[in-house]
Amino acid sequence: MTSFNAFTPPARLLLGPGPSPVSPRVLAALAQPTIGHLDPAFVGLMDEIKALLRTAFRTENEMTLPLSGPGSVGMEACVINLIEPGDAVVVCQNGVFGGRMAEVVRRCGGQPIVVESPWGRAVDIERVEAALRAHPRARALGFVHAETSTGARSDAEALARLARAHDCLTIVDAVTSLGGSPLEVDAWDLDAVYSGSQKCLSCVPGLSPVTFSARAMQTIAQRQHPVQSWFLDMGMLASYWQGDGGRSYHHTAPINALYALHEALRVVVDEGLPAAWERHREQHLALIAGLEQLGVSPVVPASERLCQLNCVSIPPGVDEADVRRRLLLDHGIEIGAGLGALAGKVWRIGLMGHGCRAENVERFLTALAGTLDRAGN
Amino acid sequence: MTSFNAFTPPARLLLGPGPSPVSPRVLAALAQPTIGHLDPAFVGLMDEIKALLRTAFRTENEMTLPLSGPGSVGMEACVINLIEPGDAVVVCQNGVFGGRMAEVVRRCGGQPIVVESPWGRAVDIERVEAALRAHPRARALGFVHAETSTGARSDAEALARLARAHDCLTIVDAVTSLGGSPLEVDAWDLDAVYSGSQKCLSCVPGLSPVTFSARAMQTIAQRQHPVQSWFLDMGMLASYWQGDGGRSYHHTAPINALYALHEALRVVVDEGLPAAWERHREQHLALIAGLEQLGVSPVVPASERLCQLNCVSIPPGVDEADVRRRLLLDHGIEIGAGLGALAGKVWRIGLMGHGCRAENVERFLTALAGTLDRAGN
């Protein structure tokens, strides 16, 4: 029989695109003894998590809950529940995740109409408007609010207004925005929004908070075809999460991860969203100022930058992978590489949730300065 | 803003159909600090988990890994990767989970041919053979090895032999069997097998170990249609989990849950599978003997009983829900209710993994005796 030693993770400061650092209080909640998913105490916890998620998403949507899988499960759930075979969907692509959404639309029999914007820029509103005019029967507009692959923030409010004017539902990737930058599900009238636990909520990875508007749920109720996934059928998930005594068994929820999410959301709500957004903005400004002094510049124009995920160009002559390796092995700091069109060209520096603190910015800048210095020798 | 107190789970002894009790050493592993999913240390952990799962599944299959979701995700992954639109699949139903598999087949465009056997009995081999003869073009045979809803164990070896004789792949639900009763993926020549982390492995819920034979992977490679789910496309998951330096980003793995799975598998491998199977058998016999003394009898004939999940009839005149409630609230012991056709008629008593111990059997029998006694007053 194969056996191995117990695993002890190395000490790391997570300043990449996620997971972000998980606070000791969230890890302690995670490690509490497992109870049954039908236990009355657990049903009560599920209700609290739904309420906390509504606060975080700024919504009154009844259908607000964490899916038992990572952010890509959230994307898939939103698309396959709203879209039926043959439906046209305008999908905005300005990075990796818009492209993934188009692929998910294709795989469930929908017809993605891809509107491209440059990587590192916000979604181009005029191009989207042209596409919506050209495809008057499109059912939905899908876009990424905070592109984790490029650090660009798109104008979700304007995009949603446009979608509404063209009688389209919105499918919104808020994986990296939830908890880190303003996201107003009700005020902006968004329909199906998904996020991830391991970004600005600073929970462990593996859960995908989602919220669906009443309009989205009505669309689902009127489907002509069953949702292709049994596991992600929101109608059945609604019964599992409703918690009013009529709760019906669907799957076994990831109990311990939900303990952690409850605690992570308590942290977010206790700080207050506006305070959290401001903290992310302040540390972002400090980071950018420090990077500019080292000759490292952001990829995204200032007005379109995310605060929680900073995409910066590699200075000329620097071996980008070697710098990341030295930051990790010599300093215990993880930052992210470029993805897709930006692979090899950028670093992605995350200041998310619990990790977004002045001391981390300073520690990173010092480590980077030393590493670039040695690389220059 | 809505806020709530920190959540503290009540003390529970989990003797239901899962989750099973998670040992303190697995909870401690779970709570270690989160690191990045592309960290070299984490990539090494993934390789160890694959090797440990091969030991647990008794297979050399290269494609052996934990999916980032519960057991129902494993079911869906096995079905939708092997089955293409229009494919006929013989699905054995002798409880809730066979019915679920038929539904998953239907939703991905397959044609389930459902072979029913009585609830509480093993799958009827002769009926399956007749169905395979009647449908010579069937692509696969799907069945549940250990029916969690009834406590019946089917003869996976004989069913797989039959499938092979009719040139069918096998899709095998081993959610409750893995680690608790003999399961021989290679010796029985099974093709696509899925399990869950929260049964006899006694890990936290939320992961689904799966293994695919070379024959299954070849079938996937020759598909005419893309797999309908981006998240569960085994071709892409293979690249994410291959760990040979060519590893490509797919989704963010549930890092902490995988720490826990690694530790839970170390426990299983250190004890040794034959010893674990024997322990489950011994405690099962002790439980049944004690229950018979209380006038409580098993539903399943002795030769078809699972050791890890004991389905028993409610004695006449007993309020089954009230007994469960009192066991939970007065004694801190969780057992399961009946599901589907057995709802209201049975209790399901799990002795799984870390929970399968003499002291738990005694504690449960004492509590049940007292509760039935009071109910009889």
Percent of chain B with pLDDT over 70: 98
Partners of A336 in the β-ladder: A348
Whether A125 and A170 share a structural domain: yes
Select from A193, A158, A167, A174 the least CA-distant residue to A88.
A167
Taking the C-alpha atoms of residue A177 and residue A155, their distance in angstroms, rounded to an integer, is: 12
Q: B236 — contact with chain A (CB < 8 Å)? A: no
Is pTM beyond 0.95? Reply is: yes
Enter the tokens of residue A217: 């749920």
Judge whether B92 and B159 are in contact, CB under 8 Å: yes
Whether A43 and A176 share a structural domain: yes
Q: B257 — contact with chain A (CB < 8 Å)? A: yes
Q: Write the CB contacts of B176 (distance below 8 Å, at least 6 apart in sequence).
A: B17, B18, B145, B146, B147, B148, B196, B199, B200, B306, B308, B309, B352
Number of separate domains in chain B: 2
State mean pLDDT over B11-38: 97
Whether A233 and A98 share a structural domain: yes
How confident is the model at residue A84, as a pLDDT? 97
Judge whether A321 and A142 are in contact, CB under 8 Å: no
In-domain check, residue A5: no
Mutation target among B251, B259, B269, B339 for the A interface, most CBs of A within 10 A: B251
Tens of pLDDT, residue by residue over A156-167, are 999 999 999 999
State mean pLDDT over A58-78: 97
- How many CB pairs (< 8 A) connect A and B? 268
Residue A9 pLDDT greater than 70, yes or no: yes
Mutation target among B229, B271, B309 for the A interface, most CBs of A within 10 A: B229
Confidence of residue B246 (pLDDT cuts 50, 70, 90): low
Which domain, by its residues, includes A370?
13-18+273-376
Tens of pLDDT, residue by residue over B216-243, are 999 999 999 999 999 999 999 988 898 5
State mean pLDDT over A117-127: 98
Q: Write the CB contacts of B349 (distance below 8 Å, at least 6 apart in sequence).
A: B15, B16, B287, B309, B310, B311, B312, B335, B336, B364
Cα-based torsion angle of the residue sequence A351, A354, A359, A362 in order, rounded to the nearest 10 degrees = -10
In-domain check, residue B6: no
Judge whether B265 and B64 are in contact, CB under 8 Å: no
| Cβ distance of B7 and A204 shorter than 8 Å | no
Taking the C-alpha atoms of residue A231 and residue B208, their distance in angstroms, rounded to an integer, is: 13
Q: A48 — contact with chain B (CB < 8 Å)? A: yes
Q: B66 — contact with chain A (CB < 8 Å)? A: no
In-domain check, residue B256: yes
Residue B372 pLDDT greater than 60, yes or no: yes
Q: A225 — contact with chain B (CB < 8 Å)? A: no
Whether B264 and B121 share a structural domain: yes
Whether A262 and A367 share a structural domain: no
Cα-based torsion angle of the residue sequence A53, A54, A56, A57 in order, rounded to the nearest 10 degrees = 110
> Domain boundary at B204, B234, B269, which?
B269
In-domain check, residue A6: no
How confident is the model at residue A377, as a pLDDT? 47
Whether B305 and B364 share a structural domain: yes
Q: A353 — contact with chain B (CB < 8 Å)? A: no
Judge whether A166 and A115 are in contact, CB under 8 Å: no
> What is the tally of helices (H) and strands (E) in chain B?
12, 14
Residue A133 pLDDT greater than 70, yes or no: yes
Residues of chain B found within 8 Å of residue A81, distances taken between Cβ atoms = none
| Cβ distance of A39 and B253 shorter than 8 Å | no
- Please give the sequence-ordered ranges of beta strands (E in DSSP) within chain A, or none if there are none: 13-14, 63-67, 88-93, 111-116, 140-144, 146-147, 152-153, 169-173, 192-194, 208-212, 309-313, 333-334, 336-337, 346-350
> Domain boundary at B235, B254, B269, which?
B269
Mutation target among B7, B26, B265, B269 for the A interface, most CBs of A within 10 A: B7
Enter the tokens of residue A47: 């209700």
Q: Chain B: give the shortest CA distance to residue A2, in Å.
A: 6
Whether B324 and B285 share a structural domain: yes
Residue of B nearest to A57 (CA): B1
Residue A277: give its domain's CATH number: 3.90.1150.10
Residues of chain B found within 8 Å of residue A266, distances taken between Cβ atoms = 3-4, 6
Q: B97 — contact with chain A (CB < 8 Å)? A: no
> Domain boundary at B269, B288, B315, which?
B269
Order of strands, edge to edge, in the sheet holding A169-173? A63-67, A208-212, A192-194, A169-173, A140-144, A88-93, A111-116
Length of chain B: 377
Whether B175 and B233 share a structural domain: yes
Whether B141 and B209 share a structural domain: yes
In-domain check, residue B205: yes
Q: Write the CB contacts of A136 (distance below 8 Å, at least 6 apart in sequence).
A: A166
Rounded to two decimals, the ipTM of the complex is: 0.97
In the stretch 201-220 of chain B, residues with CB closer than 8 A to chain A read: 204-206
Q: B144 — contact with chain A (CB < 8 Å)? A: no
Tens of pLDDT, residue by residue over B82-119, are 999 999 999 999 999 999 999 999 999 999 999 999 99
In-domain check, residue B201: yes
Whether B241 and B290 share a structural domain: no
In-domain check, residue B7: no
Confidence of residue A3 (pLDDT cuts 50, 70, 90): confident
First to last CA, chain A: 49
In-domain check, residue B249: yes
Residue B256: give its domain's CATH number: 3.40.640.10
Select from B175, B174, B201 the least CA-distant residue to B273.
B201
Whether A42 and A59 share a structural domain: yes
Is B238 or B365 the better-scoring residue by pLDDT? B365
User: Which range (A28-42, A213-227, A304-318, B237-251) has the least confidence?
Assistant: B237-251
In the stretch 305-324 of chain A, residues with CB closer than 8 A to chain B read: none
Whether B301 and B256 share a structural domain: no
How confident is the model at residue B1, as a pLDDT? 53
Tokens 């005019």 appear where?
A133
